[in-house]
Amino acid sequence: MTVAPPGPDAPSTGLRSGAVGTRDLVFFVVAAAAPLTVMAGFGPLAFVYGGAATPSGYLLAGLIYLLFTVGFAAMSRHVSGSGAFYAYITRGLGRAPGAGAAVLAYAAYALGQIGFAAAAGLFASTTIEDLLGVHVPWAVAAVALSLLVGAMAYRRVDIGAKVMAVLLTGEIGVLLVLAAAVLVRGGHEGLSAGSFAPDRVFTSGLGAMLVIPLVVYIGFEQTAIYSEETRDPRRTVARATYIAVGFLAVFYTFISWTLYMAIGPNALAAALSGDPSTLVYRLDDAYVGGAMTKVMEVLMVTSYLAGVLALQNACGRYLFAQGREGLLPAALRRVGASTGTPSVACVLQTAIVVAALAGFGLSGLDPYRQVVVWTNTPTLVGVLALQIMTSAAVVGYLGRRRAGESPWQRLIAPGASVLVLSAVLVLLLTKLPVLTGMGALGNTLIMLPLPVAFAAGCVRALWLRSARPGVYARVGSTDPFAPERTT
């Protein structure tokens, strides 16, 4: 675990600076959100819980996260680093909570990547069999896709951004084609704005309505994670975050409303009584045609693939940041000489994901009802907890310094965000049995890695404080020693 300072001949450069612009950051955030996956995979479930008011649920969730973005964007103008939540929480709440947040963030994102990769493998397997008549086990497909993602993550970060731009264009395009067809044909029972009526939105079922819309906005940190690699990070990160959150709020609200119009208010219950997971495919068949539905099936795989790549990059940079600052072995701070990416961290992360997928594949577990649920649900809870701590850290850090930020940016908005997101977390925890289909014991077991990860990071930091104060002083630093470079 030794981290020695670089010698006089050590390179002064770190991650590849200036490789990423505003557009690239927006793609990373939207890719992590996986719009087609959200609408086709989780959209029907949102209607099960929220009914006719579901489009309003996406809008309200977007407004909640725009509130969070105010403080997050303000913090990005003063603190940077490859582990954004980690860096912010360290500055605002202290090194021990910051180190705990670093390990928690890595655990949450790594579990999310495993779940997304499993889902990508499952959809790839069914799509290949449907189109080519060849059966490929889901775990084999998932491992192959993860190796492909690992290779892309190892290369220059801007190459990954271009790949995601192409994939996102396809998945957003196919949803817009469906929406346009619904609008042209006037929906199933005509077009109306009844979904947004206050008497439907503010009901006793408001909590259930918000469960799915709230959890599909995961991915904010993607902008700040790349702050060391962006052009003009003090402006780029904030701008990209606002654009991404605003886009997702409008897009999710619009698409969910057109889906509701395609079903028809009076036919919603009947449409959801069958298999909800095929609802969007059935609507696409009815309004656009079977050929486009085949395209949608393929793009469903690439939607998950884009999400896997975004999470791979996030995990790699968290490992890199912790290796650079002494929380993990120093080898993880090595950067590829020609690529400017965290090479060792990328390879290690790929190996971890592949090993996990192989283990799940051999276990015989159901890839969707068990593997995806057991891995992605802790991701949602972990990221929400990190967002709450980050908002508190904004108040703690910027509240002590005016730093050119208004009271709204440094105190009011982040303070309100702590309260609102805490309520969201409580809501999510109360709905865990609905999301996972498990009882109290099962839900406790799948959530256990989160407090264990946080505690491990805190304990490591406290040990460093007493045993290696020089390394402890670097925890959460935005001016770290230069990383070693590999050829």
> Could you give the CA distance from residue 196 to residue 205 in angstroms, rounded to a whole number?
14
CATH value at residue 140: 1.20.1740.10
Q: Residue 145 in contact with residue 164, Cβ under 8 Å?
A: no
pLDDT at res. 305 = 86
- Structure tokens given for 241: 């975050």
> Could you give the CA distance from residue 406 to residue 412 in angstroms, rounded to a whole number?
9
pLDDT at res. 478 = 54
Residue 263 in domain? yes
Residue 109 in domain? yes
pLDDT at res. 457 = 95
Residue 78 in domain? yes
**Which among 82, 77, 83, 62 is positioned nearest to 410, based on CA atoms?**
77
Q: What's the farthest any 2 CA atoms get from each other in the chain?
A: 73
Question: By three-state DSSP, how is residue 485 classified?
Answer: strand
Residue 68 in domain? yes
pLDDT at res. 228 = 72
Q: Residue 476 in contact with residue 324, Cβ under 8 Å?
A: no
Stretches in the chain below the pLDDT threshold 70: 1-20, 81-82, 156-161, 203-208, 220, 337-338, 478-487
Q: Residue 210 in contact with residue 51, Cβ under 8 Å?
A: no
Residue 6 in domain? no
Structural domains of the chain, count: 1
270 C-beta neighbours (distance < 10 Å), count = 10
Residue 17 in domain? no
Q: Residue 125 in contact with residue 478, Cβ under 8 Å?
A: no
Q: Residue 26 in contact with residue 310, Cβ under 8 Å?
A: no
CA 104 to chain centre: 14
189 C-beta neighbours (distance < 10 Å), count = 13
Residue 9 in domain? no
pLDDT at res. 335 = 84
Structural domain containing residue 116: 22-478
Residue 438 in domain? yes
